Amino acid sequence: MDDTKHNTTTTDKPKLLDQVRAAIRTRHYSIRTEEAYVQWIKRFILFHNKRHPNQMGDKEISEFLSHLAIRRNGPKSFPKSLRWMKWTGY
């Protein structure tokens, strides 16, 4: 009997950043815009200790934006980046 386990786990839903990339490409945005949005979403997730975006909401977005405003000069494009998470179902 073969005791080798095969990884049969599949996910029906693509990962968040893959969904964001697909949505951006569908809308024919530039690759630089895609890269910027993905980076801001990653920063947002890391700021909140790698919590999944579907566990966060407006409160966490406000906390992150406040952090950027106080500690850094936050970019104007960041809020658009967060909208991609909502548009893709997160």
Domain limits, the chain? 16-87
Give 85: exposed, middle or buried? Use CB within 10 Å, 0-12, 13-18, 19+: buried
The CATH architecture one would assign to domain 16-87 is Orthogonal Bundle (1.10)
- DSSP letter, residue 13: S
- DSSP letter, residue 27: T
Distance CA 63, CA 69 (A): 10
pLDDT of residue 86: 59
Tell me the pLDDT tens digit for each residue of 19-77: 989 999 999 999 999 999 899 899 999 999 999 888 898 899 889 888 887 776 655 55
Q: 89 vs 37, which has greater pLDDT?
A: 37
